[in-house]
Structure 1
């Protein structure tokens, strides 16, 4: 995490590490061959209301999506906030360096580049 976000993890119970662990735990329990087979055989289950029996797949998917979004956004926002406070150098991490490069780009392209950087950084972080 220090290379990607310039964030030093704590020795125990670091919130960002625990966030990744939660995403992996939920993802492993949710993405099973059995669930894939059920959705392949009964695709109408995705159209059921959330309160209906059999729609736990949708609820679990929503939980995993929210956790994944937090895993992508929280460390990225940490870098942006600390760069604005000048508490970290823009050259001290992959995200900081590329955010500085993005600032030099056209305003229309900034959201595209920032989204790509978020995804690349979270892949590098979660894949460690």
Structure 2
């Protein structure tokens, strides 16, 4: 995480590491062939209300999506916040360097490049483990 986000993890119970582990555990449990087969055979399950039996797939998917979004946004926002506070150099991480380049090129391209940078950064640090 230090190369991608200039974030030094703590030796034990680091909150960002725990977030990644939790998000990956939930996502892996969601991505099973059995669930895919159930949804392919019974697509109406996606339309059931949350309180109905059989809709646990929807609830689990929502939890997985929320955790995945946190896993992408929290470290990215950490870099943006620390760049704004000038507590880290913009050139000390992959995300910081590219955010600096985006600022130099103007705000017009930010809506296109920022989501791509978030995905690339997440892939870079999740792929390390």
Q: Which band: TM-score by shorter chain?
A: over 0.9
Please give the alpha-carbon distance, in whole angstroms, between the structure 2 residues aligned to 1:18 and 1:33.
26
Give the whole-Å Cα distance in 1 for the aligned partners of 2:62 and 2:116.
Answer: 22
Q: CA deviation at 1:82?
A: 0.4
- Cα distance in 2 between the residues matched to 1:89 and 1:108: 23
Unpaired segments ≥5 residues, structure 1: none
Whole-Å separation in 1 of the counterparts to 2:89 and 2:124: 20
Separation in 1 of the partners of 2:108 and 2:86? 26
Cα deviation digits, residues 83-106 of structure 1 (max 9, x gap): 001000001000000000011224
* Structure 2 counterpart of 1:46: 46
Shift of 1:108: 2.6
1:111 offset after TM fit, Å?
1.3
Give the count of matched residue pairs: 128
CA shift, 1:48, in A, is: 0.8
When normalised by structure 2's length, the TM-score is: 0.96
Which of 58-67 and 99-108 deviates more?
A: 99-108
* 1:88-99 matches, cutoff 5 A: 88-99=88-99
Gaps of 5+ in 2: none
